[in-house]
Amino acid sequence: MKTRVFILLILWLLSTSLTACGPKAPAATPTSDAITLGATQTALAPTATSTPEPTATATSTPTETPLPTETPNLAATSAASTQTARLETQQAVQTAEALSVEATQQAQDAFWAQMVADGTITMNQGEMYEIDDFEESWAQRNWYQWWWFGYSMADFVISTQIEWETAEASYGNGGCGFVLRLKDNDNHLVVFLAPRGDAELGAMTVNGYQTQSIRWKNPDLPNYAGLTPPSSGSSDFTVVAEKEFVTAYIDGQRIYQWYVALTSPGDIGYTILSGTNKDFGTYCKFTNTTIWELIK
């Protein structure tokens, strides 16, 4: 058995040696295409060259470039100036109005204190009413018209500024004023600022118009009867109706006080008494009219 294995081993070794020592296969011959491709690749291959290192280039430090300036908007500037001027004007007007109101209030307070000191007013100041301005003319000699306010009062102070003109100054009296405690056509009082500068108070009753007698007269007043009335003029006119007394002030000066029998409440209104039939007769303009009710 051992002899057979040994012989097989020797035979395997001999076959292996014969295979390793046999002739080799010939190498593959390159084709013409492969030769051409190789030559082309060799021709296209870059030739190695020495590349110089870059040298440092000196550069100048950049200067600072100024930013562009803003182009002014003339329209916006003009509009802003106009708005500023408008606001300044409004502020000036408001300041002037405030000062005017303050000055007016101070004047009213001073005048009120004067009427109290005169003894004209003994009651307290109640609610105030501002009346619309009014102007009208009337041309029927010795007749008067009225335009009432719609406030029924017995005791009050009414003040106004009157501008007046007459078409025939030397004829008749005429005047501008108020109806007081008006109940109807035959039951009211009427008081006028006359062109000569004085005042007149009358009472209308069922028996007709009756001029009321003066209870008190300012001793410093001139003799109005001898004065020729001017054709136009203006004055501040204030009337105080308190209980049985009616007092007239012209331009802040107390001139007359009357005693009256009609003391009950009634309406108040503007009135115009014509002193002539010529042209427009008597023209009256009332401005800044104010009523203060008097209360206990």
- pLDDT in single tens digits along all 296 residues of the chain: 555 555 555 655 555 554 444 544 444 444 444 444 444 444 444 555 455 555 555 555 555 656 556 666 777 777 888 888 888 888 888 888 787 788 888 988 999 999 999 999 999 999 999 999 999 999 999 899 999 999 999 999 999 999 999 998 766 678 999 999 999 999 999 999 998 889 999 999 999 999 999 999 999 988 887 778 888 999 999 999 999 999 999 999 999 999 999 999 999 999 999 988 999 999 999 999 999 999 99
C-alpha dist (Å) from residue 80 to 44, 84, 99: 78, 6, 28
Measure the CA–CA gap between 256 and 250, rounded to whole angstroms: 9
**Ramachandran angles phi, psi of 211, nearest 5°:** -70, 130
Instruction: Quote the pLDDT of residue 41.
Output: 46
Phi first, then psi, for residue 144 (nearest 5°) are -130, 150
pLDDT for residue 180 = 98
Q: Of the candidates 224, 262, 245, 232, which has an alpha carbon nearest to the alpha carbon of residue 167?
A: 232
Place of tokens 């008097």: 294
Could you tell me the sign of the dihedral formed by the alpha carbons of 107, 111, 116, 122, in that order?
Answer: negative
Separate counts of helices (H) and strands (E) for the chain? 3, 14
Residue 222's SS3 state is coil
Output b/e per residue, 233-268; b: 16+ Cβ within 10 A. Answer: bebbbbbbbbeebbbbbbeeebbbbbebebbeebbb
